[in-house]
Amino acid sequence: MKKINWCKKQKKGIKLIEPNDNLSEEYYQNSEESLKVLRFIKKTKSNMWLATTKYYIEYFAVYSILMKIGIKCEIHDCTISLVRFLEKEGLIKIKISDILEKDKKLRMDNQYYLKNRPVKIDFEKLSEFIVFIKDILDNLNKKKIEELRTKIKKF
């Protein structure tokens, strides 16, 4: 995973910090809160805000896993690379990295390039996504956290 090695060398890239259950829970709650906000935004039909909010629901949820493991990363592409790593390690059993990549592109197109691309919102799938992440958080133990941290250190 060359990308992770590159990300570790960047100023705002991947940094190992102390695992933090409190921050993990806050990011998870931000994901849930953003889902509630999305219900109101849907009424506005603003593709920019729909894409942005949808992406951050997903991003905050996966970032809660990183905080639980003790990984700080302020570069979104690097966060997505970490998610790919966690998929390969079997912690994440579905291709969340592909979802993040697609929704990040949609957000950027609509937010930065004003393309006004349509945004498909499926509240049931987003809710299932959040519950899926909660299950990972609830089952992530200290042994697995240390194993993942050790592998990331070796990159």
pLDDT in tens, 6-32: 999 999 999 999 999 999 999 999 999
Residues 110, 119: Cα–Cα separation, whole Å: 9
Residue type at position 11: K
What is residue 15's three-state secondary structure?
A: strand
Residues 144, 138: Cα–Cα separation, whole Å: 12
For the chain, the residue count is 155
Number of C-beta neighbours around residue 27 at 10 A: 22
139-153 core/surface letters (b: 16 or more CB in 10 A; e: else): ebeeeebeebeeebe
The token duo for 152 is 């990331």
Residue 4 has pLDDT above 90, yes or no: yes
For the chain, what percentages of helix, strand and coil (3-state, to nearest 5) are there?
Answer: 75, 5, 25
Residues 28, 46: Cα–Cα separation, whole Å: 25
Q: What is the CATH number of domain 2-148?
A: 1.20.120
Model confidence pLDDT, tens digit, residues 53-88:
999 999 999 999 999 999 999 999 999 999 999 999
Could you state, in order of their start, the residue ranges of all structural domains in the chain? Answer: 2-148
Global confidence as pTM: 0.96
Per cent of the chain over pLDDT 90 is: 98
Whether residue 98 contacts residue 30, with contact meaning beta carbons closer than 8 Å, is answered with no
Whether residue 24 contacts residue 67, with contact meaning beta carbons closer than 8 Å, is answered with yes
DSSP state of 71: E
* pLDDT for position 1: 72
